[in-house]
Amino acid sequence: MSDDAQEIIGDYKYGFHDPENSTIRFDKGLSEQVVRDISELKNEPQWMTDIRVKAYRHFVERVMPEWGNCSLLNMIDFENVTYFLRSSDQTEKSWDDVPDDIKNTFNRLGIPEAEQKWLGGVTAQYESEAVYHSIREDLEEQGVIFLDMDSGLKEYPEIVKKYFGTVIPHSDNKFSALNTAVWSGGSFLYIPKGVHVEMPVQAYFRINAKNMGQFERTLIIADEGSSVHYVEGCTAPSYSTDSLHSAVVELIAMDGAKIRYSTVQNWSSNVYNLVTKRAVAHRNATVEWVDGNIGSKLTMKYPSVLLKGEGAHAEVISVAYAGKGQHQDTGAKVHHLASNTTSNILSKSISKGGGRSSYRGLLQVTPKSTGCRSKVVCDALILDEDSRSDTYPTMEIGNSTSDLEHEASVSKVSSDQLFYLMSRGFSEEEAMGLIVNGFFEPFTRELPMEYAVELNKLLELEMEGSIG
Amino acid sequence: MADEILRVEDLHVSVEGTPILKGLSLTIHRGEIHAIMGRNGAGKSTLANVVMGHPAYEITSGNIFFKGEPLEDLEVFQRARAGMFLSFQYPAAIPGVQVGTFLKKSVASVRDDPPKGRAFRKELTAAMDKLSMDKSFLSRYVNDGFSGGEKKRLEILQMLLLQPHLALLDETDSGLDIDALRIVAQGINEVAADSACLIITHYQRLLDLVKPHYVHAMIDGAIIRTGGPELALELEDRGYDWLEVTA
Ligand SMILES: Nc1ncnc2c1ncn2[C@@H]1O[C@H](COP(=O)(O)OP(=O)(O)O)[C@@H](O)[C@H]1O
Ligand SMILES: [Mg+2]
């Protein structure tokens, strides 16, 4: 491990990296040719190449967002990013066939073990592409399609063509344009009518190389009356130079379907995490975003739901932890586009050691969408004087028959709480760890148990060695 | 002579520059139950907090010894691990932290040879049964939305599980109905048999159930009279004014 990596790796236990072995690696920098080369390399149909090129041109013209953290955004050097890196020639179905370095990494991250114990399927992406992929046979027999996105496009081009970019058009924002231009990897998941996938399926995204850009693209379609829980994890080595992760995730929940999408991103603190996630919920469908942001340098991510069909329901539960040198600009957007739709938004953030967290939310009820109900709760916990928390809620309510609640609170850890816990034998750091875990509990309890335990440990670790 | 557990010597304590305790002395041995009574604002909670090590209180002079060792260098959690326990007048709520998890972790950090797994659960169940506490307590969040009585019960449950050598009970009787008081008193008696116990109270009714060996009357930051159980009756009957006159 190089010295600079060692220096900043600190307590981040996923900060190790492998040698950078690649079978194909593009030179750094972005141009229309790079975009075309990616498409050609992947042997894509012409229509996909055309979408990519169009998106690239839009990206070039599109200005940076003027909110979030402009000074950090403007520090991104798009010419110093590797846009495509293939580290393994195939997506393997058995871990034994995955190259050793990469397999060891995923072993250290506990993925094969989790797969054995509690997952219905796994995609493991390393740099630009999936290196491993599998799905339980019984799910396959029921017609569930779970592939990495590149294979999805190859094997089911008509489905991909029908839905790709329909929820998040390339022109949505600068980073959705970038992703559409250079996307690689991600998941393609289709659940047939009436099928309930009981075990969660998981995708794990790992960046290994320096200055890497990872642009996965995920499309999930839950057909009528079906249900699925999709879990996503991500980590990267700690480097002193920046990496860029810019994903686009599109979810489509048909009538009566239910999709839960859970993420705990724990990128190292040199990663820009600029992700667009949006779902469409048709009649009586439910979409739940369970979104945890612990790592990264700057995250800008606002999982959204378009409630398009009557009776649809959205649930967004998110937490953000902003430690030293981190800015978590997160939130939720819900658009009530049909009558009698309901939504719940719960957002919790912790800022510590000079970290900054911002809640940015949008709640929209169109004039014709009557009888909607929504509740938004934002709680911020600030652990020291240097840290910061802001809330930017926007409400656009088009009628008077809807019932909306909004609550926001900012609090500090009280000395009474600390004294109480310490009088029960907890050191100050342990006491902080308990308080912080308790604060995130409404989120943690929604996670699969293994993730919850991991998250609690992570937060306890964050409280260590930092109290003077 | 039984083992000395707590010795407070001519203690002066200030909060934000205001003197609260003004020369308080007190010694408690193993197996002794002491009661402190005094008006609101006399400094009773201050004494309990400062013995436990609350950082807001400044000791301007005097000393506190626990089992003969000076306490000044011990942090709050080290005092807990050494065997000191404070039942709070106003226990703090810790939202999101389940009672069960909290108790397990607390016992693991305080006790020398903490029971684990099934042994812990067995001990926990036995203690909760003694206090007539329902299992559902365990999945609630620590003191969050608890009634006054529920909070006090949870304090006593912790005392039973942590098995302290010194128990400081700050108005543990307030907010309890008579049945709950009886149950809590049983818990205190059980622990008090083998430890040193300091009960802070306004009322005689707890002292009917937990018999103190010594009763101290506290006025304006100092103990001005010490007696036996009969002093508690007299204080409840006559108030504190007569002491000020004779002091
Ligand atoms: N943390 C504190 N900050 C400021 N004043 C305090 C604090 N704790 C106690 N005091 C003051 O010290 C005095 C004694 O309080 P306390 O010890 O709570 O009395 P008691 O428990 O006998 O009712 C009161 O005047 C109270 O206002
Ligand atoms: Mg008091």
Q: Which residues contact A46 (CB under 8 A, 6 or more apart)?
A: none
A9-47 in b/e form (b: 16+ CB < 10 A) is beebebbbbbeeebeebbebebeeebbebbbeebebeee
DSSP, collapsed to helix, strand or coil, labels residue B85 as: strand
Predicted pLDDT of residue A8: 44
- CA–CA gap between residue A423 and residue A446 (Å, rounded): 31
Per-residue model confidence (pLDDT) at position A1: 36
Quick one: three-class SS letters along A239-303? Answer: CCCCEEECCEEEEEECCCCEEEEEEEECCCCCEEEECEEEEEECCCCEEEEEEEECCCCEEEECC
d(CA A98, CA A104): 9
pLDDT tens digits, one per residue of A299-352: 999 999 999 999 999 999 999 999 999 999 999 999 999 999 999 999 999 999
Give A389-424 pLDDT, tens digit per residue.
Answer: 999 999 999 999 999 999 999 999 999 999 999 999
Q: Do A423 and B85 touch (CB under 8 A)?
A: yes
- How far, in Å, is the centroid of ligand 1 from the Cα of B45? 7
Ligand located closest to B55 CA: 1
Please tell me the distance from the alpha carbon of residue B141 to that of residue A444, in angstroms, as a whole number.
14
Which residues are registered as beta bridge partners of B85?
B167
CA-nearest residue of chain B to A432?
A: B94
Q: Ligand 1, residues B22, B36, B45: which to mutate, most atoms within 8 A of Cβ? A: B45
Distances (CA, A) of A167 to A39, A49, A163, A202, A281: 22, 19, 8, 22, 11
Task: Please state the domain extents for chain B.
Answer: 4-93+164-246
Pick the CATH number of B4-93+164-246 from 3.40.50.300, 3.30.70.270, 3.30.1330.40, 3.30.70.260: 3.40.50.300
pLDDT of residue A2 exceeding 80: no
pLDDT confidence band for A466 (50 / 70 / 90)? low
Please say if the pLDDT value at position B84 is more than 70.
Answer: yes
- pLDDT of A254 above 60: yes
Q: How confident is the model at residue A255 (pLDDT cuts 50, 70, 90)?
A: very high
For residue A434, the distance in angstroms to the closest alpha carbon of chain B comes to 7
**A106, two tokens:** 């995923």
Whole-angstrom distance, CA of residue A56 vs CA of residue A31: 8
> Which one of B12, B18, B46 would you pick to mutate in the ligand 1 pocket, going by the greatest count of ligand atoms within 8 A of its CB?
B46
d(CA B108, CA A66): 51
Domain boundaries, chain A: 415-468
Average pLDDT, whole number, for chain B? 94
- Asked if B80 and B107 touch (Cβ cutoff 8 Å), the reply is no
Which of A103-117, B92-106, B217-231 has the weakest average pLDDT?
A: A103-117
Spatial distance between the Cα atoms of B142 and B73, rounded to a whole number of angstroms? 29
Q: Could B76 and A419 be called an inter-chain contact, meaning their C-beta atoms sit closer than 8 Å?
A: yes
pLDDT tens digits, residue range A15-65?
888 888 888 999 999 999 999 999 999 999 999 999 999 999 999 999 999
pLDDT of the residue at B245: 65
Q: What is the per-residue pLDDT for A7? A: 40
Q: Is the pLDDT of residue A13 over 80?
A: no
A415 has a chain B CB within 8 A of its CB: yes
CA distance A412 to A422: 17
Q: How far apart are CA A399 and CA A397, in angstroms?
A: 6
Phi, psi of A343, deg, nearest 5: -150, 150
The per-residue pLDDT for range B194-222, each reduced to its tens digit, is 999 999 998 889 999 999 999 999 999 99
Beta strands B94-98 and B141-142 are: antiparallel
- Decide if pLDDT at B122 tops 90: yes
Residue A433 has pLDDT above 60, yes or no: yes
Among the residues of A86-194, which ranges form H helices? 100-108, 111-118, 137-141, 149-155, 157-163, 174-182
Give the model's confidence band at A14: pLDDT under 50 very low, under 70 low, under 90 confident, else very high. confident
Please report the beta strands in chain B, taking only residues with DSSP state E, as ranges in sequence order. 4-15, 18-29, 33-38, 57-66, 69-70, 84-87, 94-98, 141-142, 166-170, 196-200, 214-219, 222-227
For residue A371, the tally of other CB atoms under 10 A from its CB is 15
Q: What percent of chain B clears pLDDT 90, i.e. is strictly above it?
A: 89
**Cα–Cα dist A322/A340, whole Å:** 36
Distances (CA, A) of A105 to A17, A112, A268, A387: 8, 11, 15, 34
Q: Which atom of ligand 1 is nearest to the CA of B54?
A: 1
The beta strand positions in B156-221, using DSSP E, are 166-170, 196-200, 214-219
Asked if the Cβ–Cβ distance from A440 to B75 is below 8 Å, we say no
Whole-number Å distance between alpha carbons of B32 and B4? 10
pLDDT of B1 strictly over 60: no
pLDDT of residue A5: 40
Write out the two tokens for A129. 């592409």
Strand A276-281 relative to strand A304-307: parallel, antiparallel, unpaired? parallel
> How much is the pLDDT for A20?
84
Please check the confidence at residue A468 and state whether its pLDDT lies above 50.
Answer: no
- Does ligand 1 come within 6 angstroms of the Cβ of B55? no
Q: Does the beta carbon of B41 lie inside 6 Å of ligand 1?
A: yes
Distance CA B185, CA B202 (A): 15
Q: Nearest by CB to B94, from A415, A422, A435: name it.
A: A435
Q: Is the CB of B147 within 6 Å of ligand 1?
A: no
Q: How far is the CA of B210 from the centre of ligand 1 (A)?
A: 26
Mean pLDDT of chain A: 93
Helix or strand run (H / E) with residue A37: helix A32-41
Residues with CB under 5 A from ligand 2 (ion): B 44-45, 89
Residue of chain B whose alpha carbon sits nearest to that of A419: B54
Q: Which of the residue ranges A112-121, A252-261, B62-71, B129-138 would you say has the lowest mean pLDDT?
A: A112-121
A11 band by pLDDT with thresholds 50, 70 and 90: low
Q: What mean pLDDT comes out for the span A153-171?
A: 98
Write out pLDDT tens, residues A123-139: 999 999 999 999 998 99
Position A4 confidence tier, pLDDT thresholds 50, 70, 90: very low
Q: B45 CB less than 6 Å from ligand 1?
A: yes
Looking at B31-147, list the stretches that DSSP marks H as alpha helix, in order from N- to C-terminal side: 44-52, 76-82, 99-110, 117-130
Give whole-number Cα distances, A387 to A265, A301, A364, A381, in Å.
21, 20, 30, 10
Over range A287-292, report the average pLDDT: 97
pLDDT at A50: 98
Nearest CA in chain A to B144: A438
Residue B246 has a pLDDT of: 59
Q: Flag if B77 and A428 touch (Cβ within 8 Å).
A: yes
Nearest to A241 by CA among A424, A3, A5, A31: A5
- The whole-number pLDDT of residue B220 equals 95
Q: Is A441 on the interface with B (CB under 8 A)?
A: yes
